Amino acid sequence: TQLLEQSPQFLSIQEGENLTVYCNSSSVFSSLQWYRQEPGEGPVLLVTVVTGGEVKKLKRLTFQFGDARKDSSLHITAAQPGDTGLYLCAGARNFNKFYFGSGTKLNVKP
């Protein structure tokens, strides 16, 4: 059983469309990170959110941490083919342990 569930698992959209990926848990996390991973490579950190209700923006990406620090969302505006990849959320229960979500595979078609 995954501690963090992501939805959707797969997403295939056209360039220019918007999308939202959700990361949900019944557990509280001290922080939550979002990563993007390309095939055959390690995950690359996109953002860390720490405070409940926090919203962070990274160009066309908007990240939100739930008020209760149990869930998070990633919204991409005007998706581009370069956004294609596996998106992973990871929650930290304390500073020394991180748990990954089930992953969302995004494919943006030109």
Q: Is 98 in the site for another protein (CB under 8 A)?
A: yes
72 binds another protein (CB under 8 A): no
Q: Tell me the closest approach of the beta carbon of residue 69 to another protein, in angstroms.
A: 12
DSSP collapsed to 3 states, 44-85: EEEEEECCCCCEEEECCEEEEECCCCCEEEEEECCCCHHHCE
Exposed/middle/buried for residue 14 (C-beta within 10 Å: 0-12, 13-18, 19+): exposed
Among 48, 62, 73, 84, binds another protein (CB under 8 A): 48
Which residues are near another protein by CB under 8 A? 2, 30-31, 33, 35, 40-45, 48, 50, 88, 90, 92, 95-103, 105
